[in-house]
Chains A and B, each alone.
Chain A
Amino acid sequence: MNIIEVKDLRKVYSNGYVSTVALDGVSFDVKEGEFLAIVGSSGCGKSTLMHILGLLDRPTSGFYNFGGKNVFEMSDDEAARVRNKKMGFVFQSFNLLPRTSIFNNVKLPLVYGGLSDEKEKEMVLSALESVGLKDKANNFSNQLSGGEQQRAAIARALVNHPAIIFADEPTGNLDSLSGQNVLELLQDLNDDGHTIILVTHEKYTSEMAQRIIEMKDGKIVLDEKVENRKLAKNGLIK
């Protein structure tokens, strides 16, 4: 079953003087449980596409169904709710809250979910356990290494048991070993049934996915299955 259906998606940025076409008629589907990598050079529109898919931004025109629901018909609050319940985000710069414990950082999506304290605690600890940071729950984000911070961010992305995880250059700020750990984590999550969309400009990172979409100038130039998919746990990727 398709979790994402996109047809002829367009996004035009305009500042009143100049219009820039970021997405120029993009169409594809993503199946549930798929691990998709979107690649392309800087400015190709891959980040814009991810933001639209993640309901953080709205397309100018086209058709986008998420989980069987037309995104164009969603209000801002409904979109927020979908992001909260069905989606998880991992960013290049981690985006952890400063002066806040790792526990509370991971809890952040649950704060908007209306669960009981016990349930919240259970979910946070289980998410931290799955990224191997349970013993650092009470540390502050600045007391963690970059790799640990990104793992905490992944715990935050999966704490709500989302259907899909969007990862925007998750290894971009990490050394290769930490990057490998993060990719291994994403592959494990995918094995557990999470759909994953990974945005990257690194070819070897994209080869961790099952399928690659390559973009150029706002258009899809390649959409293919990855032959000889690489597994992060098998060793250094560089």
Chain B
Amino acid sequence: MNLRDSIKTALISLKSNKTRSALTMLGIVIGISSVVTMVSIGNGAKQLIIGQFSTLGSNNIFIEPGSFSKKMEGNQGMQSMLEEMTIKTLKYEDYKAIEKDPLISKAAPLAFGAEKIFYKGNDFKVTYLGTTPEGINILNKAEFIYGNNFTEEDVKSLGRDVVLGYKVKETLFGEEDPIGKIVRIKGNNFRVIGSLDQQGTQMFMNLDEVIYLPITTAQKVILGVDHIQEIVAQAKDENRIEEAVESIRLTIRERHAIDNPEGDPAKDDFKVVSQKETAEILDTVISIFTMFLSSVAAIALLVGGIGIMNIMLVSVTERTKEIGLRKAVGARRSDVMTQFLIEALILTLIGGLIGIFFGLVFSLLASFILGAVLSISWQFSFPLNAVAWAFCVATAIGLVFGLYPARRASKLNPIEALRYE
């Protein structure tokens, strides 16, 4: 029996039980489409992280208040997060000291929060970032469309100047030139001195919805605190980031009078992490998550495979007489076996193709939804590896789960098969 005849016979048999074939395929469709979707979303998430980090540059170091241990022990997670927000250990002077480190090229202190900004009848909920003039340049690479950056003088004198992100300006002022206009934030008047071009999201923050204030103004006028929430520093040499991290730790320990010669991060009242490290951790977390979700999907695939085997066994029983007849007119064992294997293969391959199609549709949908919900540009990634893998798995499932029923069919005694009622 040649391949074409086998395929024809298989198609006739599958067509004659349309509902059954479709339901059997459904298992494979669900399995394959879930695997493809999961892997695609995982790839998208990875690309997103790479993108979010890469616009910032690769040699950033983040210094935050609080110690590692507090976070790790936090089975009362929310509480430890709140604690962290109110930890007052990081000071403006720490930033000054880090800035002087010979391994560091630039550094910026950050004090931030969320407030509504008002202009005439309009208002807009924004994230305000208190930093230095250089801080704006580190965080936002966009050009100024209107006006200029604030100055060091503003930082020293608690200047009431504000730089607007692109969307803030668009929402409050539209086409109007915002320079010199007065906006209100938490009951204080601020003068707009600059507005930035579009920048998009970076480190999962939409920079177009951010306003920038002098660090001191943010601390004392808006937050009413004395400490800062974060320091961003950039290492001079990309290959010496680890060294720079260690140097920062030593500097701050000395300033905070922490006796920690063995370098146990649990004893510190601050944490220093490099962007590279954070990206690597996130990458690992996402990989594990993707793997976990894909294995759940793979179980669906396995169940689908068992469904195929089940239906093929039913088919063999149903067609016992046909098998007997085929043997009587000259079909060899291998002919019968091929026929049933091809039937199983066609079921899984069609199921696999439909599954791949739905997987791509779902991941495309997911990329739109995630992009809209998280208001970031989620890149749809065509999961070529997952598609290829899914295709191979579908074939393998067809072969593996089709083999047993096909063997059973091929071993039938023609006489018993012919007599079967």
Measured CB to CB, the residues of A under 8 A from B are 51, 54, 56-57, 76-77, 80-81, 83-85, 89, 91, 95, 97, 99-100, 108-109, 111-114, 156
Q: Chain A residues with Cβ under 8 A from B324's Cβ?
A: 95
Q: Chain B residues with Cβ under 8 A from A57's Cβ?
A: 413-415
Q: Chain B residues with Cβ under 8 A from A77's Cβ?
A: 332-334
Which residue of A76, A91, A112, A156 has the most chain B CB atoms within 10 A of its CB atom?
Answer: A112
Known: A95-B418, A112-B1, A114-B2. A80 touches B325 (CB 8 A): no
Nearest CB of chain B from residue A11's CB, rounded to whole Å: 11
Check B418 against A112 for contact (C-beta < 8 Å): no
Instruction: Kindly identify which residue among A51, A83, A100 contacts B330, using a CB–CB cutoff of 8 Å.
Output: A83
- Expressed in whole angstroms, the Cα–Cα distance for A99 and B9 within the complex equals 11
Q: Chain A residues with Cβ under 8 A from B330's Cβ?
A: 80-81, 83-85, 109, 112-113
Task: For the complex of A and B, list the 5 residue pairs with the smallest distance between their C-beta atoms, beginning with the closest.
Answer: A84-B330, A109-B329, A112-B330, A80-B332, A99-B16
17 A-B pairs with CB atoms under 8 Å apart are A51-B415, A77-B332, A80-B327, A81-B330, A81-B332, A83-B328, A89-B328, A91-B418, A95-B321, A95-B325, A97-B325, A99-B16, A108-B326, A112-B1, A112-B326, A112-B329, A156-B329
Closest to B335 in A: A112
Known: A56-B328, A91-B418, A114-B2. A99 touches B333 (CB 8 A): no
- Expressed in whole angstroms, the Cα–Cα distance for A108 and B328 within the complex equals 10
Q: Chain A residues with Cβ under 8 A from B5's Cβ?
A: 111
- Expressed in whole angstroms, the Cα–Cα distance for A112 and B338 within the complex equals 12
- Expressed in whole angstroms, the Cα–Cα distance for A140 and B32 within the complex equals 37
Nearest CB of chain B from residue A29's CB, rounded to whole Å: 24
Q: Chain A residues with Cβ under 8 A from B334's Cβ?
A: 77
Interface membership of chain B positions 307-333, coded 1 if the CB is closer than 8 angstroms to chain A and 0 otherwise: 000000000000001101111111111
Q: Chain A residues with Cβ under 8 A from B322's Cβ?
A: 97
**Is B205 in contact with chain A by the CB < 8 A criterion?**
no
- Expressed in whole angstroms, the Cα–Cα distance for A85 and B413 within the complex equals 20
Nearest CB of chain A from residue B288's CB, rounded to whole Å: 50
Q: Chain B residues with Cβ under 8 A from A91's Cβ?
A: 418
**Is B374 in contact with chain A by the CB < 8 A criterion?**
no
**Is B12 in contact with chain A by the CB < 8 A criterion?**
yes
Nearest CB of chain B from residue A140's CB, rounded to whole Å: 11
Nearest CB of chain A from residue B171's CB, rounded to whole Å: 67
Nearest CB of chain A from residue B320's CB, rounded to whole Å: 12
Known: A51-B415, A97-B322. A84 touches B329 (CB 8 A): yes
Q: Chain B residues with Cβ under 8 A from A54's Cβ?
A: 328
Known contacts A56-B328, A108-B326; 5 additional CB pairs below 8 A are: A76-B332, A89-B328, A109-B330, A111-B1, A112-B331
Which residue of A54, A83, A114 has the most chain B CB atoms within 10 A of its CB atom?
Answer: A83
Known: A76-B333, A89-B328, A95-B321. A56 touches B414 (CB 8 A): yes
Chain B residues numbered 279-331 whose CB sits less than 8 Å from any CB in chain A: 321-322, 324-331
Instruction: Kindly identify which residue among A51, A76, A89 contacts B329, using a CB–CB cutoff of 8 Å.
Output: A89
Interface membership of chain B positions 329-367, coded 1 if the CB is closer than 8 angstroms to chain A and 0 otherwise: 111111100000000000000000000000000000000
Q: Chain A residues with Cβ under 8 A from B16's Cβ?
A: 99
Nearest CB of chain A from residue B317's CB, rounded to whole Å: 15
Check A56 against B415 for contact (C-beta < 8 Å): yes
Instruction: Kindly identify which residue among A80, A95, A97, A156 contacts B331, using a CB–CB cutoff of 8 Å.
Output: A80
- Expressed in whole angstroms, the Cα–Cα distance for A141 and B2 within the complex equals 24
Q: Chain B residues with Cβ under 8 A from A111's Cβ?
A: 1, 5
Check A112 against B332 for contact (C-beta < 8 Å): yes
Q: Chain B residues with Cβ under 8 A from A84's Cβ?
A: 329-330
Chain B residues numbered 1-29 whose CB sits less than 8 Å from any CB in chain A: 1-2, 5, 12, 16
Nearest CB of chain A from residue B212's CB, rounded to whole Å: 75
Nearest CB of chain A from residue B406's CB, rounded to whole Å: 16
Q: Chain A residues with Cβ under 8 A from B329's Cβ?
A: 83-84, 89, 108-109, 112, 156
Q: Chain A residues with Cβ under 8 A from B335's Cβ?
A: 112
Nearest CB of chain B from residue A190's CB, rounded to whole Å: 21
- Expressed in whole angstroms, the Cα–Cα distance for A84 and B322 within the complex equals 16
Interface membership of chain B positions 387-421, coded 1 if the CB is closer than 8 angstroms to chain A and 0 otherwise: 00000000000000000000000000111001000
Q: Chain A residues with Cβ under 8 A from B413's Cβ?
A: 57
Which residue of A77, A84, A108 has the most chain B CB atoms within 10 A of its CB atom?
Answer: A108
- Expressed in whole angstroms, the Cα–Cα distance for A80 and B325 within the complex equals 12
- Expressed in whole angstroms, the Cα–Cα distance for A187 and B60 within the complex equals 98
Nearest CB of chain A from residue B391's CB, rounded to whole Å: 29
Q: Chain A residues with Cβ under 8 A from B327's Cβ?
A: 56, 80
Nearest CB of chain B from residue A75's CB, rounded to whole Å: 10
Nearest CB of chain B from residue A149's CB, rounded to whole Å: 13
Known: A57-B415, A112-B335. A100 touches B12 (CB 8 A): yes
Nearest CB of chain A from residue B82's CB, rounded to whole Å: 71
Closest to B9 in A: A111
Q: Chain A residues with Cβ under 8 A from B418's Cβ?
A: 56, 91, 95
- Expressed in whole angstroms, the Cα–Cα distance for A114 and B330 within the complex equals 12
- Expressed in whole angstroms, the Cα–Cα distance for A145 and B418 within the complex equals 21
- Expressed in whole angstroms, the Cα–Cα distance for A77 and B334 within the complex equals 9
- Expressed in whole angstroms, the Cα–Cα distance for A57 and B334 within the complex equals 18
Interface membership of chain B positions 120-143, coded 1 if the CB is closer than 8 angstroms to chain A and 0 otherwise: 000000000000000000000000
- Expressed in whole angstroms, the Cα–Cα distance for A99 and B49 within the complex equals 57
Interface membership of chain B positions 131-166, coded 1 if the CB is closer than 8 angstroms to chain A and 0 otherwise: 000000000000000000000000000000000000
Closest to B326 in A: A108
Closest to A81 in B: B330
Nearest CB of chain A from residue B312's CB, rounded to whole Å: 18
- Expressed in whole angstroms, the Cα–Cα distance for A99 and B8 within the complex equals 13
Nearest CB of chain B from residue A168's CB, rounded to whole Å: 9
